Amino acid sequence: LELSPAARRRCTLSGADSGGIKDERLATCQHYAHVLQADYDNAELMALVLVANRMPLFMASETISKYKEVQIHGPVRLDADVVALHVPESEDDAKLQSFAKRNGIRYYTFGQALNSCTLKGL
């Protein structure tokens, strides 16, 4: 799922499980460089740059070599905070499409080739 810019501004992120870590290991979308430097390997950084430039729009979760965490603070309104839903073709169904339409969320499906896309596949 893809969050709106307003929802992203209400997020805190970490390069590991945030339970018990020091405050300086937490970040926001606007201030994340210290986490990138400490907790991302070269492949993860390359994937981040590609997706940030929408080349491609997203990558398979296998690209992430270790756990990353995002927490959204405050209520999440589907009609305002979620702008897109990216669904594998194998999971596509009328209920998901109806859910997206009802909440004004863009709906994308992608094939198996993209589902397994990692940097090794590019």
Output the tens digit of pLDDT for each of the chain's 122 residues.
Answer: 889 999 999 999 999 999 989 999 999 989 999 999 999 999 889 888 888 887 877 777 777 888 999 999 999 999 899 999 888 888 898 999 999 999 999 998 877 655 444 444 33
Q: Is-above-0.85 flag for pTM?
A: no
What Å distances lie between residue 18 and 13, 14, 45, 96, CA to CA?
8, 6, 20, 31
Supply the DSSP symbol for 10: T
Q: E-strand spans in 15-105?
A: 26-27, 69-72, 82-88
E strands in 1-122: 2-3, 11-14, 26-27, 69-72, 82-88, 106-110
